[in-house]
Structure 1
Amino acid sequence: MDDKIHEIWNVRFINRIIDSMADGVFTMDATGCISSWNPAMERISGFSAKEALGQTCQLLQCSRCFGKKCPASMEKCRIVENGQSEAKECHLRHKNGHDVAVIKNASVVKNDAGQVIGIVETVTDMTELMQARKKAEEAVIRLGELHRMDNIIGRSRAMKQVFEAIRAAAASEATILIQGGSGTGKELVAGAIHFNSDRREGPLVAVNCSALSENLLESELFGHVKGAYTGANRDRMGRFEEASGGTIFLDEIGELSPYIQVKLLRVLQEREVERVGDSRRHKIDIRIITATHKDLYSRVREGLFREDLYYRLKVFPIHLPPLRERREDIPILADHFIQRMNKKTGKPITGLSTAAMRVFMDHPWPGNVRELENAIEHAFVLCNRKAIDISDLPIEIRQPEHWIQCNASVEGNFSSKHVRKKLSKEILRELLDACDWNKAEVGRRVGLSRTAIWKYMKKWHIPLQKEEKSRAGATP
């Protein structure tokens, strides 16, 4: 009697396990009729257990059954012949008529005499995974489109030379150094090189070397092992390892500390990394692209940058000209950003008025293409006409004397005290927009430290990060 109770308990326990499974499970008897159908099968197929019991597996209209359509009888089912099937991706037809992506597996159940008494099939719903896979593929496509060569706008001679350099760089494995001012589109050029190279299927990993302290940057680039420092509660792969098989883009390379410079030099020489707190070395297969707005050679002469690292980085240098040196590109750049903002906002703006275009052509554009893009975005907020006019433009563009005044310290060695008197909340916000909220760049323009800019932002309750402004990618 105890054995009988134990057996009943075991059956109930097994049934409870099957019913609680996320995967669909159903069984068929020796005649090929469905004899059990768990709740997950109801969810995946849309058929209730009551509807499925007694039916054959043709109910599911599986798209792949040993490479063929589901047979009409149990005798013709090859699962009986093979004993089991490999797990394969296929589609089941939902009760509502749509296809469901699944992984299907099956096994024959035999008694002690070797006779087939049934079949057990498991069905794993792949819908969420397929959706995630589709989103990932679409993201790669969008990223590739963002970094297409024709997204780099310019017809000037200077830009034609940049296009030629990108094509040459993409066809090689050489280390690239991109040099250009803030807002010239260095990251976009790095992306164009990667997505036009043989490494396009691999990852493109970007790191801003000026955004982190030395310790954090070391961990970010090289990774760390558990216990390497306080808070390191697990092993972590660094960005160099993440980029293996693809490209790593190191922006603002001129900001590296001497210690990180030594470690980077070792990566360039040996193509291997050592995680913080670890003695083991990990081989990496990467292409390195770096960028800076500073004159690296001057920093070498000043003893701030290693000469041997400098020559390893500039195997193939690419110089991005400032916008003021390619003014013939301003009209087509403005038109490009206007068309983009039209799609984003739904406004039917056709272009710039003659007066506004004259102002654009005369402006020095210290923030380069990014400043021009922000100026167009600023104008779209105010403009309710078909053409953008001078009154729609940011103050530093429509009033040149205002710009000269707030930059007087850079040109004429004015004291910080003098600059503070001129700096206001409105001017600071304008400068932040022009510099894409790069506080260090704003500081350079007004002769103050990054910390001072940060304090002014706190004082005037200006958000420390850019507010809901899309940065789809700077376009040179």
Structure 2
Amino acid sequence: MENIQQAIEKNKLLKRFLESMGDGVFVLDPTGKIVAWNPAMEAITGYSSREIKGKSCRILKFSKCFGKDCPSGMHDCKILQTGKVIPTECVISHRNGHLLEVSKNARVIRDDSGQIMGVIETVTDLTELKNTRLKIEQAARRLGELNRLGGIIAKSEVMQNVFSFIKASAACETSIFIQGESGTGKELVAGAIHSIGERKDKPMITVNCSALSESLLESELFGHVKGAFTGAVRDRIGRFEQADQGTIFLDEIGEISPYIQIKLLRVLQEKEIERVGDSKKHKVNIRIITATNKDLKSRVDEGFFREDLYYRLKVFPIYLPPLRNRREDIPLLVDHFIKLNNKISGQTVTGMAEPARKVFMKYSWPGNIRELANAIEHAFVLCSDNQIDLKDLPLEISGQNTTYAAPLPRYPKPASPRKKQRESLDRDSLLTILTESGWNKAEAARRSGFSRAAIWKYMKKWNIPMQSE
């Protein structure tokens, strides 16, 4: 009877097939001796075909075939009785002595008469797969810790999809593009990606691209050398170099000028920067995350944004839904911001009354999570009970034209720079400031030198409506 080694040697097509396989394949004769060993097995185990042939498969020290260590010989191996080994994850020994995690699969080979000629086994190296699994598990664990700390709060299905994208993007190094309306938490997402990725121990640098002019933004991003422009009295490294080995988050990326777009494209392509006024190139190893609240594709179509840069940045897009599309997350967010404001103010607000809760659930939230957070802060200023009621909410949310007549609470004495302003502020002065500020309480606070909470309380004291009548 022809043995299995002779059968393989005679079949050239079979030999080519074994040699071309990406997975490791080897063949045993009925005594357990190796008679064929493909190149993939050489790569996985370190044993060459010449040195392994004729040896027992026990040389690989498979950790489990049938739920136990490799048997002492072929006569103890159940493969001859069962006819197969289902795909099993196990450990084998490399030629150099270290252990490898693999998936093993085996089948007996029979001739036309049904006699066993040998066994063919396939081996898949699981090292990369295990590493990837570990990274995903670690990323998921770190993301869970981040959520418990209040970084990202959501249970809605649409946000669970966002979480999946965050986990996936954290395990890779590609450019991330975050798109969403103002107040949806784009910077939080960028921070989450960085904090659960491999660069988590390196710096994360944030730059708001809409806050600076072209020349200032260029210097901020790329740095400058002494004498590059008036006022450049010394060399200064830019944000790209500060973020080296870490992450840079460029918020409002749609606002950068064509000149900065060209320079950013060079950073993405060449991984190097030039400081303003310098011809020397500096290598940087950074991960770039960008964000915008605009439709960047429309800006490309209108000629305001480079198409090549757009596709360079938009390798892995993450879309953040507005709060109105994830209303089931509102109670979680309300609870979070109530706890946060309790901690800051020392109050003991326990929750939100049903009328206020219904209003919160129906409101469209054009300012998204940022507006919700501000609404809770506003309510804390006015709330005199242990629950936030409808009367405590901003008028644009509650829809009520409530007139406030409660007495002004006592304030601690202000610091000396604001003392004069506080003493001179009266109802008419406050009305003038509010009119000049377009009834924007934050702007009125800045102009008067008082806190926004103080402005609200003075308005309440003097029966000033929360918006212009």
Q: Could you state the TM-score of these two structures normalised by the residue count of structure 2?
A: 0.57
Q: For residue 203 of structure 1, what is the aligned residue in structure 2?
A: 203
Following the alignment from structure 1 to structure 2, what is the Cα–Cα distance between the partners of residues 304 and 183?
24
Q: For residue 362 of structure 2, what is the aligned residue in structure 1?
A: 362
Deviations for 1:429-472, whole angstroms, at most 9, x for unmatched residues? 25x5xxxxxxxxxxxxxxxxxxxxxxxx5xx6843999589xxx
Count residues with an aligned counterpart: 279
Report 1:213-228 matches (<5 A). 213-228=213-228
User: Structure 1 residue 272 and structure 2 residue 251: aligned?
Assistant: no
Higher RCO structure (Cα 8 Å, ≥6 apart): 1
Deviations for 1:98-140, whole angstroms, at most 9, x for unmatched residues? xxxxxxxxxxxxxxxxxxxxxxxxxxxxxxxxxxxxxxxxxxx
Matched residue of 1:304: which SS?
coil
Shift of 1:345: 1.4
| Native 8 Å contact 1:148 1:192 kept in 2 | yes
- Opposite residue 429 of structure 1, the aligned amino acid is N
Computing the radius of gyration from Cα coordinates, the structure with the larger value is 2
| Native 8 Å contact 1:147 1:191 kept in 2 | no
Shift of 1:155: 0.6
CA 1:467–1:173 in 2, change beyond 3 Å: closer, same or farther? farther
| Native 8 Å contact 1:147 1:189 kept in 2 | no
| Unaligned segments of structure 2, at least 5 residues | 1-141, 403-433, 454-469
Q: For residue 178 of structure 1, what is the aligned residue in structure 2?
A: 178
User: Structure 1 residue 375 and structure 2 residue 375: aligned?
Assistant: yes
Q: For residue 463 of structure 1, what is the aligned residue in structure 2?
A: 447
Q: For residue 146 of structure 2, what is the aligned residue in structure 1?
A: 148
| Native 8 Å contact 2:156 2:326 kept in 1 | yes
Following the alignment from structure 1 to structure 2, what is the Cα–Cα distance between the partners of residues 300 and 293?
14
CA 1:335–1:425 in 2, change beyond 3 Å: closer, same or farther? farther
Following the alignment from structure 1 to structure 2, what is the Cα–Cα distance between the partners of residues 167 and 291?
18
- Opposite residue 316 of structure 2, the aligned amino acid is F
| Native 8 Å contact 2:174 2:315 kept in 1 | yes
| Native 8 Å contact 2:445 2:452 kept in 1 | no
Q: For residue 140 of structure 1, what is the aligned residue in structure 2?
A: none
| Native 8 Å contact 1:147 1:192 kept in 2 | no
Following the alignment from structure 1 to structure 2, what is the Cα–Cα distance between the partners of residues 304 and 294?
12
| Unaligned segments of structure 1, at least 5 residues | 1-143, 403-422, 433-456, 470-476
Matched residue of 2:198: which SS?
coil
Shift of 1:147: 9.1
Q: For residue 167 of structure 1, what is the aligned residue in structure 2?
A: 167
Q: Could you state the TM-score of these two structures normalised by the residue count of structure 1?
A: 0.56
Q: For residue 348 of structure 1, what is the aligned residue in structure 2?
A: 348
Deviations for 1:153-202, whole angstroms, at most 9, x for unmatched residues? 11111110110011011000010000011111111110000010000110
Following the alignment from structure 1 to structure 2, what is the Cα–Cα distance between the partners of residues 207 and 322?
23
| Native 8 Å contact 1:179 1:186 kept in 2 | yes
Matched residue of 1:148: which SS?
helix
Report 1:60-459 matches (<5 A). 148-150=146-148, 151-399=151-399, 424=435, 428-430=439-441
Shift of 1:324: 0.4
Deviations for 1:11-52, whole angstroms, at most 9, x for unmatched residues? xxxxxxxxxxxxxxxxxxxxxxxxxxxxxxxxxxxxxxxxxx
Deviations for 1:219-266, whole angstroms, at most 9, x for unmatched residues? 000000000000001000000000001000000000000000000000
Following the alignment from structure 1 to structure 2, what is the Cα–Cα distance between the partners of residues 364 and 277?
49
Matched residue of 2:207: which SS?
strand
The runs of 4+ residues in structure 1 deviating greater than 3 Å are: 144-147, 423-428, 460-469
CA 1:287–1:299 in 2, change beyond 3 Å: closer, same or farther? same
Q: For residue 425 of structure 2, what is the aligned residue in structure 1?
A: none
Following the alignment from structure 2 to structure 1, what is the Cα–Cα distance between the partners of residues 401 and 301?
36
